[in-house]
Chain A
Amino acid sequence: MSADSTAPASNEIAERIRTYIEGKLPGAQGLQLQDMERIAVGWSHETWLFDAHWSVAGEQRTQGFCLRRDPGNALLRELSDLGDQFGVLQCLEPTALQAPKPFWYEADHAVLGAPFIVMEKVPGTCPNPWGREGRAFYEAAAGRGVLPASFTDTLATLHNIDWRQAGLDFLGVPAAGTPEFALGEVRKWRRLIDASGHGPEPVLTDLICWLEANAPRTERLCFVHGAYRTGNLLIDDDRISAVLDWELQTIGDPMYDVAYVLSDLNREGSELLSNLVPRDEFYRRYEAATGIEIDEDACRYYQLLYAMRSAAFWMSASGLYAEGRSDDIRLARTAWSVPVVLERAARDLGF
């Protein structure tokens, strides 16, 4: 999530959240929520941050919480389920990966009008890599050298997770040694395109057909984040304090994440990967920490898959506005992002 502005939560929602949290804390007395803010983040779920103070048998307790609610009309709504996100965070809790500790998943719409999850508020900030201030932050951090290493090490930690032991196989496991993973991703994003209501796009059809015809075999299956980049990582004292945005994770090819890191989609004009890491350093450190050799052919394939994802994303976004399901003019603007990503894909396809 890319936090750049905040708005106060409504009193009614704040009180409903307070009542809910109180009900989840046995013996809690005098529970109060402080510093509640709704963060205007990303494009998907609504997020609130707050601190809770209460007492149990006279002993004072304090806990920072993060609540994510499914607004029902968000981008990636069809691809991302809060129940699954909660399950993933539960699986990750005993692993070495930095991720927020999950507390509760509430499917009952009666509580807040939509399903939501409550998790730990992790210390740190999440500078927006698309903004001037964010780019300056990452540029300075790159110079200090600690954050680039943490960025790479955290991805290696994620890919080194024993996902079967962690219970993450509930996400579905593609057959190793086959192109099932890549083809599954193409199908997944095609569903979003079909649901967007966008008109036919011949370049996109060419791209999808190419992706289906050239899907690589996945030899080694890993737990994959699906959108690993600055802006989706919380940073505290120049280190990754939590990996965020658990919406697109899957069991699949680790090159899927690596390709996203290598992509110039995430480093507006910077030589540094994700505006942060020198390419050679990323290769050396990642390969040493995982024992996985970076497969550049596979990465090139996945970068074209990311072009398809981008097109699907913008089609879905502009569709939400066109259908009157959102009043956010940011979404209307994205209608013109579709030809831009398709033009880029065409160049990558060689025309």
Chain B
Amino acid sequence: MTPSDLLERMAATFKGEVGPAIEADYPRTQAFLSAVVLQKLAAQLRLAEAHGEAEAVERQALRRDLESMLREIEAPQTLRDAFLALAENGDDGLCRFIEALYGAREELGAAHFEALLGRVRQTMRRTLDRRMEYAS
């Protein structure tokens, strides 16, 4: 039995046996919600490896595309510095890059800003789609 299967079984127990056996409102609700949390965790855990691999590939492609785009334009140093930090700092680095991008909006001009942000959003959309597989 995998860890995610175990969590699924526990969720089923909370939902089918523990919850219905409790009379008082508050603890009964807590039992049913425990089942929901365990189900979400199980799904997240089951998908974690595949999602992690997909995420790594996406981020690499993002960095490659942004590097190429930034090479073609005049971008402020703050944005270039934020780009260089992207490789090491995961989501935090991506947040800093987005902030730097908005900060450089006027200098970049609308077309370059939209192109760079559009590329970042493409990656964020794919990440969101993956998260929605277990969150929704």
Contact = CB atoms under 8 A, between A and B. Distances in A.
A314 to B, nearest CB: 11
Interface residues of B, number: 33
Contacts of B40: 333, 336
B130 to A, nearest CB: 9
B11 to A, nearest CB: 12
A340 B129 CA distance: 10
Contacts of A238: none
Nearest to A349: B121
Interface of chain B, helix or strand or loop or mixed? helix
A203 B118 CA distance: 12
A202 interface: yes
A329 B34 CA distance: 7
B79 interface: no
B110 to A, nearest CB: 12
Interface string B76-115: 0000000000000011101100110110010000000000
Given A40-B25, A339-B131, A346 B125 contact: yes
Contacts of A40: 25-26
Contact of A7 (B26, B117, B124): B26
Interface string A312-330: 0000000000000000111
B29 interface: yes
Contacts of A5: 25-26
A205 B128 contact: no
B29 to A, nearest CB: 7
Most chain B beta-carbon neighbours within 10 Å: one of A7, A210, A346: A346
Contacts of B94: 200, 202, 205
Interface string B21-52: 00001100110011011001000000000000
Contacts of A349: 121
B95 A333 contact: no
Nearest to A341: B135
A19 B102 CA distance: 58
Nearest to A210: B102
A213 interface: yes
A332 interface: yes
A201 B26 contact: no
B33 A202 contact: no
A337 B121 CA distance: 20
Contacts of A22: none
Contacts of A201: 91, 95
5 contacts: A200-B92, A212-B102, A332-B33, A340-B132, A343-B128
Interface of A: 5, 7, 40, 199-203, 205-206, 209-210, 212-213, 328-330, 332-333, 336-340, 342-343, 346, 349, 351
* Leading 4 A-B pairs by shortest Cβ distance: A209-B102, A351-B121, A339-B131, A205-B95
